[in-house]
Structure 1
Amino acid sequence: MKLSRNHVYWLLHTVGWGLLYSLISLVIYQRPVFVATELLYALVLVASTALGAHLLRLLYKHRLAQARISRQVLGLLLGSVLVAATATLILLAFFFLLTLTDYSFPVPPAQRWFVIKTIFSGNFINMLMAMLLWSACYFAVIKVRQLRQTTALLTATQLDALLNQLNPHFLFNVLNNIRALILEDPNKARDMLSVLADMLRYNLDSQANVKVALRDELEVVHHYLALCAIQFEQRLRYEENIPPDCMTLAVPRLLLQLCVENAIKHGISTLPAGGRIQLTASIVDDKLQLRVLNDGQLTSPATARGVGLTNIRQRLALLYQSNASIKLVQQQQNVLTEICLPMEPLDESGHC
């Protein structure tokens, strides 16, 4: 069971101050003359400091979290001094309260100021050091968490920007083709408009998961090919070989659609007789391997650096770092686009 952030805080807070009390108790035990009430004094001091540290955390969350870093640091420093001083004063009050009982010897009036200075100076310094260490650790954890959140937000923003890079030329051509189809076959034109709407909705849905099941991505590929078939008709032939055990594996959204788009743009559309696109998937060395094979020639390095493939490379780097790859190679009269992804099964909610 994964602990919540609040539970982790209380666990670390309790363990940390508990370790400090254990260390102080060990020092007390090793003194030549052991006085049991000193353990009680130590408990009051550490407990008061721990409570003050928690109150300082609440102050930071509600008053300092949005302030400038310099003000945050200054607030934690002053708060640490205040907590250490308050905890030491509570210890002094408890000490003199205990002298009124049978558990401690009374302090002669002439020695009270000396006792106060002795107790306050040593314990204040110790608790101040403990509070400064606590504040430094807490501040570091907060900043690391904020850095991770900022990085995650930046990554999500970059992914959204890449996902929303619609090909305006494709959209323009499809709308023109559908407009021409309205005169020839109104029913088919209406169906193609529905297909285009579904595809655009899938493309532009900012709330959709960054990764989807392969079967969902294939559905978008089928929509895309249906729209392209309006223009290419019999010049575009498509084959697909996807094993059932690959269908539920996660792939980046619009990954295959961009690969197929690249194959048509740089391959099929350049051939007078058109050509064939073959899409296959397999599991190789515990990785999902996707292959898009199309008729055509890899005429120049620029083909391998087109907007679509650059988009794919950037998204793979953001999602998988160095654990995914894409390559474009010539195989006789065909161009092969091969992508290797980590195997990530999706659950029923669509999450890895």
Structure 2
Amino acid sequence: MNSPIRPEQLRGAITEVLESAATWHELPGLCRRLGLAAPNQVDWHGGGKAKYVRALLEDHDLTELVELARKIVEQVGSEQLEGELDQLGPRGASGEFRNLIFAGTGPKPKMVLDDSVGNYLEITENAEHWLFYDQPLTSQGLTWRNMLDWWPTTSAFANTAGEVDATDPTTLGRTLYKRLFASVPPTSPPAQKLFITYCSRYGQPGGLDQPALIPEVHLHYDPYTRRERGGRGPLNRERMDFLLLLPNRVRIVIEVDGKHHYARRQTSPTGQEPWTLAPDLYSHMVAEDRALRLKGYEVYRFGGYELMQPEAEDAVSTFFDHLLADYGTSPPPATP
């Protein structure tokens, strides 16, 4: 299982390792060799070795902490940090992420696995209704900038965008946003509201480097060997409402729950359609959530009722600010 690492968890582990790896006299030099802007011991008046190291790490986000941990393992050695890094799973280039099928506006796609070694998927039917992202992820995960770089290379862009300046991120972003929004079910105003609220981040300063919120994910396939997955089979969940792919393989699933998640519509003799509680539907949903968590995903659910309240936009924005900050992805600056 590849569990997400929290920045504070890794910050604490690095502090412990460096504190025990060097004397007070040696510590500043060791930290500088690792790329830290470390003052000399005589210029430090904030406490002992642990506080010294901690102060150097305070402004490091998760990506920077992971790279530092890898340097420490290579230059100093640490079984403790190796264990922390193992939670991130195997590293790779194009093999780390390969197939994301999403934003469907029609029938489900039919697929075949046309490369049993590289695990390349090919959509054999209904491809025109879906988007297929098959580029390697950057160290920042999948950002809106990555999506804008990829979008003009797709047949969907050629079919839907018309005469668009592909060098203008704003114009390009509008066409991609329009295509993605078209896939969010019109029968779910709460899901539409969540999508609109999140995507407002893209238009703020620094918004191009915000994680992209991917709607209506049909299949997110992790191309690892069974051994790399700890003996478990690949994730093959039929559909997710939204997916975020963050740095260091942190994967966040966002679900919007309506009545159909816990009740069934019944037709009465009078023609009315009351809803009846269905414990089996709820049980199936929470079982799927458990399976996702065992594979290293985090799952967050919003209630449809919650998203239709007057304060919902502020609540959603605050939630994503806190969530992304926790993983070292800074929110865009507030618009004055």
The answer to whether the superposition gives a TM-score over 0.5 is no
**TM-score computed with the length of structure 1 as normaliser:** 0.28
**TM-score computed with the length of structure 2 as normaliser:** 0.29
Q: Which has the higher contact order (CA 8 A, sep 6+)?
A: 2
